[in-house]
């Protein structure tokens, strides 16, 4: 078994990566910005069942601070770089996300290279693959990149530039360090704590009745547990070195289809979920006054399909049915008192 560093250990994806690595028998070191959150992380991990806490250590490290990273990666075989800067409010300028995301990735990669780490698995996103393109009939693959010349939102721009910087570093300065990237679509699934991950807010707003009608678009979704599993496969499989892997549970899912799954699987507990889809013209018009619809302007009327054929064929990865994931997401939100 290996020594694995997971950055962003208290995040939605990060905490599941920690748990999955522990369950696989690895020794895990997790980074958090505030070391005082170690008890919280251990409590979160316990929510998924008993685990060997002696194989987990928690250290402080911040993507925006050069201190602590050399110690964090010391003696590690692998790094799962899941952490990414986020803002509670929309950034006043795109660089508020772009600069810390790009510099944070490079900071981790330099430390990993200097420490002799075998491979870094970078958590990127579909946002670095399929945004800013005209409508298309074929699914996006790992060969695609988001069009940075388009008017794309700051988050997708930051993920694209950060991943581009990572691949450039690996090719020009990485030495023997291997790099792989996981690009999940919208990540759903059960919580390990009372969080409010942005990727779950769609389901939350449906349960709370805060979405009178569904925005007219479709995109891919995937279970956080399957995303963590793909990270572990990309970490150890020789075939993953130098590769990107999209993670999606099949074809794109219209938002209205998600609402129907909630009605079918949750019954009265999802009674507030919408039952109709906004016309595209109306959604575009409402975008003038609704910031959330304005951020979706490139997606309205589209079905953003992606394929995980590469991960399935090279790594033997398989996603669970998205209907189960949507239901598990809703059950978890309700269990944590969210979405009632």
Task: For residue 310, count CB atoms less than 10 angstroms from its CB and return exposed for 0-12, middle for 13-18, buried for 19 or more.
Answer: middle
The token pair that represents 260 in the structure block: 């129907």
**DSSP one-letter string for 185-253:** SEEE---SSS---GGGHHHHHHHHT--SSB-S-EE-EEEHHHHHHHHHHHHH-GGGTT-EEEE-SSS-E
Catalytic, 176? Answer: no
Annotated catalytic residue, options 159, 176, 272, 310 = 159
Neighbours of 204 (CB within 10 A): 19
Instruction: Using alpha carbons, list the distances in angstroms from residue 143 to 106, 128, 196, 306, 310.
Output: 22, 11, 32, 11, 11
Tokens at 330, concatenated: 């809703």
The Cα 40–Cα 66 span in angstroms is 24
- Given the DSSP bridges, would you call strands 218-219 and 253-254 parallel, antiparallel or unpaired? antiparallel
Residues with a known catalytic role: 159
């Amino acid at each position: 078994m290996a020594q694995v560093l997971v950055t962003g250990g208290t995040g939605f994806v990060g905490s599941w990566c920690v748990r999955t690595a522990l369950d696989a028998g690895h020794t895990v070191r997790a980074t958090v910005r505030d070391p005082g959150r170690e008890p919280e992380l251990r409590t979160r991990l316990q929510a998924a069942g008993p685990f060997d806490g002696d194989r987990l250590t928690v250290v402080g490290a911040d993507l925006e601070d050069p201190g602590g990273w050399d110690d964090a990666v010391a003696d590690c075989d692998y790094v799962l770089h899941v952490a990414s800067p986020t803002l509670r409010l929309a950034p006043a300028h795109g660089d508020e996300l772009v600069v810390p995301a790009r510099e944070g990735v490079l900071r981790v990669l330099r430390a990993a290279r200097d420490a002799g780490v075998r491979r870094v698995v970078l958590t990127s996103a579909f946002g670095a693959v399929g945004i800013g393109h005209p409508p298309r009939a074929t699914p996006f693959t790992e060969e695609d990149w988001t069009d940075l010349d388009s008017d794309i939102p700051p988050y997708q721009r930051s993920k694209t530039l950060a991943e581009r910087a990572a691949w450039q570093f690996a090719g020009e300065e990485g030495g023997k360090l291997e790099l792989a990237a996981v690009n999940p679509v919208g990540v759903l699934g059960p919580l390990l704590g009372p969080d409010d991950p942005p990727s779950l807010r769609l389901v939350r707003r449906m349960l709370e009745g805060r979405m009178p009608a569904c925005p007219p678009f479709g995109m891919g979704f995937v279970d956080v547990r399957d995303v963590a599993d793909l990270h572990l496969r990309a970490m150890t499989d020789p075939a993953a070195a130098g590769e990107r892997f999209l993670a999606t549970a099949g074809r794109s899912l219209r938002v209205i289809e998600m609402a129907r799954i909630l009605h079918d699987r949750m019954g009265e507990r999802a009674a507030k979920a919408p039952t109709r889809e906004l016309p595209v013209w109306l959604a575009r018009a409402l975008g003038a006054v609704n910031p959330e619809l304005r951020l979706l302007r490139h997606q309205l009327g589209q079905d953003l399909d992606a394929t995980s054929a590469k991960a399935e064929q090279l790594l033997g990865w398989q996603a669970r049915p998205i209907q189960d994931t949507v239901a598990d997401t809703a059950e978890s939100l309700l269990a944590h008192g969210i979405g009632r």
